[in-house]
């Protein structure tokens, strides 16, 4: 199917599409397909060797279509090349174990990382590449265009128009690539309605839809319970706010999803406001609707948030704050991962997130042995885009710190925020990343490094901030990292004299250098200390999922 053009034939994809539709019509399958017949539909319109995009987003999953595809006959459907953002569900991996699919291009595998690694070692799967989201979306429009895509929407009307609602996520990118290159679009929806709140995907881009037996699965990935934030994380958040956010005047940014950055979000109405930073930092975001940002929004610290996807429990809060979030005329949020990732890459001045391991060059990785987890979007946002041309004070200041007063470009701030030890006393700072061993055991072309060291500008730990922009040699960079690595073996092996010199130059700054009293660093500074506090801040609009409630 994906062979180059045979001589003189320029519309093989269109004619192929027509044949597929005719096979479905011959089985009596119309635009609206009943759930029990979806297996027949998939076997009729998918051909062996096809590239199939199965919508698996960070949150929303086309789980019914995925399970149905996994249950198809491997005699009929085999050697499929799956292209999908996230490999999250057991049925995604079943496709390979059952011999239906054989090749995979993806971004993130999360919970299925262990099974995926075993399949690679057993040679049951060929991995094309592990991408970042933007790369994969880009390749949908270049050389990984799907023949068939299986997507998830919230609702359809009789004509086949789709409402994807707050969790629009990857759908527009997938459908656009498929529908406009002779492909077939099949959607699962939670419900069929007479009138949609709004049309997110027009019916003439959609070939088939099915009302799934149960609503598509959505994972609350971005809810962090403030009760679990520690005093040490509060201290690190204070240092980041005073030593980075304030100094560079960071207004446009993206946050990771860990507790470290949740602590920063919860200090915006308290500590940051006390420092006079309200309106001067953190006004514009590319960010999922983090519940921990509610106090900052309610306090007037935030002007705008564009989101990759939505978050479970925020359905009533977002429409009530439409000045802040992107919402449709119907009131509900519209997310879009491709646009928000683009915003995170090019329009933001800072990315700040956490990692599991960092080496002495500042390379960081979340890879662990025996698991292939991929990258998601962190490398898109956690990298300095050399294509950027517009200036901002934060970008210029960072660029001039790195390249001197005559620097011809700015720098994005890429900040890694970690405690020196993670759980089970595993040191975050290491001489060599596990990623290298993983590369060897999996036969990969590159080690799975999440954020490259040369993109990292600052490292924040409980011991202080290392500003890598000001390092002039690899040796200085190494000592700057050792100098904030605490009591890890890497930190203990520091050259004390050199670290002290770096501190004199302001390359390393401790809490006291920043005028921060560590005794103030306690949870009382958090604007919310529990999920229930977040509900109170929201005036009852935020409705946390049951697992986060203790009332």
Partner 1 sequence: MNAPVANKLVLRRSYFEASARARVAAVLDAGSFREFLPPEASEPSPHLAVLDIPGAFDDGVIVGAASLGGRPVLVIAQEGQFMGGAVGEIHGAKIVGLLRRAVQDKPAAVIFMADSGGVRLHEANAGLIAISEVMRAVLDTRAAGVPVIALVGGSCGAFGGMGIVSRLCSAIVMSEEGRLALSGPEVIETVAGVEEFDSKDRALVWRVTGGKHRYLTGDCAELVEDDAASFRDGAIALLSGWQKPMPASSTLRAEQARLTERRQRFAGLRDGLDVWQALGVAEPRQIPLMDRDSLVALKKGLPA
CA–CA separation, 89 and 75 (whole Å): 23
Query: DSSP alpha helices (H): ranges in 122-170?
Result: 133-140
Residues in the chain: 551
Q: Please say which residue, 143 or 323, places its beta carbon nearer to partner 1.
A: 323
Q: Which of 113, 243, 269, 399 binds partner 1 (CB under 8 A)?
A: 269
Q: Please say which residue, 506 or 539, places its beta carbon nearer to partner 1.
A: 539
Shortest Cβ distance from residue 527 to partner 1 (Å)?
A: 6
Shortest Cβ distance from residue 259 to partner 1 (Å)?
A: 16
Per the structure block, which two tokens stand in for 170?
């990857």
Please report whether residue 528 would count as binding partner 1 according to CB under 8 A: yes
Q: Which of 371, 535, 542, 544 binds partner 1 (CB under 8 A)?
A: 535
Q: Tell me which stretch binds partner 1 (CB under 8 A): 132-140, 180-188, 476-484, 529-537.
A: 529-537
Q: Please say which residue, 456 or 535, places its beta carbon nearer to partner 1.
A: 535
Q: Which residue has the tokens 């050199």?
A: 498
Q: Which of 172, 243, 256, 295 binds partner 1 (CB under 8 A)?
A: 295
Q: Tell me which stretch binds partner 1 (CB under 8 A): 81-89, 145-153, 294-302, 512-520.
A: 294-302
Q: Please say which residue, 269 or 382, places its beta carbon nearer to partner 1.
A: 269
Please report whether residue 536 would count as binding partner 1 according to CB under 8 A: yes
Using an 8 Å Cβ cutoff, are 473 and 361 in contact? no
Q: Which of 198, 400, 422, 523 binds partner 1 (CB under 8 A)?
A: 523
CA–CA separation, 344 and 348 (whole Å): 5
Per the structure block, which two tokens stand in for 103?
């090749």
Beta-strand pair 252-255/458-461:
unpaired
Using alpha carbons only, how large is the chain's radius of gyration in Å? Answer: 25
Per the structure block, which two tokens stand in for 320?
């009530």
Q: Tell me which stretch binds partner 1 (CB under 8 A): 356-364, 390-398, 408-416, 526-534.
A: 526-534
Please report whether residue 299 would count as binding partner 1 according to CB under 8 A: yes
Closest CA relative to residue 350, chosen from 243, 427, 267, 444: 243
Q: Please say which residue, 72 or 534, places its beta carbon nearer to partner 1.
A: 534
What burial letters (b/e) apply to 304-336, b meaning 16+ CB within 10 Å?
ebbbbbbbbbbbebbbebeebbbbbeeebbbbb
Q: Tell me which stretch binds partner 1 (CB under 8 A): 29-37, 253-261, 425-433, 525-533.
A: 525-533
The H or E element spanning position 399 is helix 393-403
What burial letters (b/e) apply to 5-41, b meaning 16+ CB within 10 Å?
eeeeeeeebeebbeebbebbeeeebeeebeeebbbbb
Q: Which letter does DSSP use for residue 46 in this model?
A: -
Shortest Cβ distance from residue 535 to partner 1 (Å)?
A: 7
Please report whether residue 315 would count as binding partner 1 according to CB under 8 A: no
Residue 17, CA distances (Å) to 147, 210, 400 in order:
9, 19, 54
Closest CA relative to residue 332, chosen from 163, 451, 142, 194: 163
Q: Please say which residue, 294 or 418, places its beta carbon nearer to partner 1.
A: 294
Q: Tell me which stretch binds partner 1 (CB under 8 A): 9-17, 130-138, 338-346, 523-531.
A: 523-531
Name residue 465's beta-bridge partners.
460, 509
Q: Tell me which stretch binds partner 1 (CB under 8 A): 59-67, 254-262, 400-408, 536-544.
A: 536-544
CA–CA separation, 535 and 295 (whole Å): 10
Shortest Cβ distance from residue 358 to partner 1 (Å)?
A: 31
Q: Tell me which stretch binds partner 1 (CB under 8 A): 34-42, 59-67, 377-385, 537-545.
A: 537-545
Q: What angle do CA 444, 447, 448 make, to 5 degrees?
A: 100
DSSP reduced 3-state for 300? coil
Please report whether residue 276 would count as binding partner 1 according to CB under 8 A: no
Please report whether residue 540 would count as binding partner 1 according to CB under 8 A: yes
Residues binding partner 1 (CB under 8 A)? 269-270, 295, 298-300, 523-524, 527-529, 533, 535-537, 539-540, 549-551
């Amino acid at each position: 199917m994906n062979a180059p053009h045979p001589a003189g034939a320029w519309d093989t994809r269109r004619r192929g599409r027509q044949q597929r539709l005719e096979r479905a019509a011959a089985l009596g399958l119309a635009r609206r397909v009943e759930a029990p017949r979806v297996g027949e539909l998939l076997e009729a319109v998918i051909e062996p060797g096809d590239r199939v995009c199965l919508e698996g987003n960070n949150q929303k999953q086309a789980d019914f279509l995925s399970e149905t595809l996994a249950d198809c006959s491997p005699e009929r459907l085999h050697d499929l090349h799956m292209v999908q953002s996230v490999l999250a569900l057991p049925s995604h991996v079943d496709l390979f174990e059952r011999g239906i699919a054989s090749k995979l291009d993806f971004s993130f595998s999360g919970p299925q990382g262990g099974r995926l690694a075993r399949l690679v070692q057993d040679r049951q799967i060929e991995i094309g590449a592990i991408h970042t989201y933007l790369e994969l979306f880009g390749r949908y429009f270049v050389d990984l265009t799907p023949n068939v895509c299986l997507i998830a929407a919230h609702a359809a009307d009789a004509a086949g128009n789709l409402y994807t609602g707050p969790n629009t996520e990857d759908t527009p990118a997938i459908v656009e690539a498929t529908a406009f290159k002779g492909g077939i679009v099949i959607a699962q929806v939670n419900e069929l309605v007479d009138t949609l709140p709004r049309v997110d995907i027009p019916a003439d881009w959609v070939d088939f839809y099915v009302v799934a037996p149960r609503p598509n699965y959505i994972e609350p990935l971005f809810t962090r319970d403030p009760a679990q934030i520690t005093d040490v994380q509060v201290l690190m958040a204070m240092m980041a706010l005073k030593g980075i956010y304030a100094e560079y005047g960071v207004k446009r940014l993206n946050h990771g999803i860990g507790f470290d950055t949740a602590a920063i979000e919860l200090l915006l109405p308290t500590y940051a406001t006390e420092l006079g930073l309200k309106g001067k930092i953190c006004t514009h975001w590319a960010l999922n609707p983090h519940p921990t940002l509610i106090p900052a929004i309610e306090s007037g610290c935030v002007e705008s948030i564009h989101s990759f996807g939505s978050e479970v429990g925020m359905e009533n809060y977002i429409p009530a704050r439409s000045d802040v979030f992107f919402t449709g005329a119907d009131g509900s949020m519209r997310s879009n991962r491709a646009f928000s990732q683009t915003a995170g890459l090019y329009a933001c001045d800072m990315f700040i997130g956490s990692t599991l391991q960092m080496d002495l060059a500042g390379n960081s990785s979340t890879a662990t042995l025996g698991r292939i987890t991929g990258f998601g979007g962190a490398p898109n946002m956690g990298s300095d885009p050399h294509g950027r041309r517009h200036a901002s004070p934060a970008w210029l200041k960072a660029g001039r710190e790195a390249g001197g007063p005559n620097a011809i470009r700015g720098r994005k701030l890429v900040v890694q925020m970690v405690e020196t030890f993670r759980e089970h006393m595993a040191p975050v700072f290491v001489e060599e990343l596990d990623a290298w061993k993983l590369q060897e055991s999996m036969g990969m072309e590159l080690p799975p490094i999440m954020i490259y060291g040369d993109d990292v500008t600052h490292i924040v730990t409980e011991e202080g901030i290392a500003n890598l922009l000001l390092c002039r040699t690899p040796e200085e960079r190494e000592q700057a990292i050792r100098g904030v690595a605490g009591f890890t073996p890497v930190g203990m092996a520091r050259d004390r004299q050199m670290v002290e010199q770096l501190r004199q130059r302001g390359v390393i700054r401790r809490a006291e250098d920043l005028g921060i009293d560590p005794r103030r660093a306690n949870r009382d500074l958090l604007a919310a200390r529990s999920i229930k506090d977040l509900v109170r801040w929201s005036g009852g609009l935020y409705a946390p999922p049951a697992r986060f409630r203790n009332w």
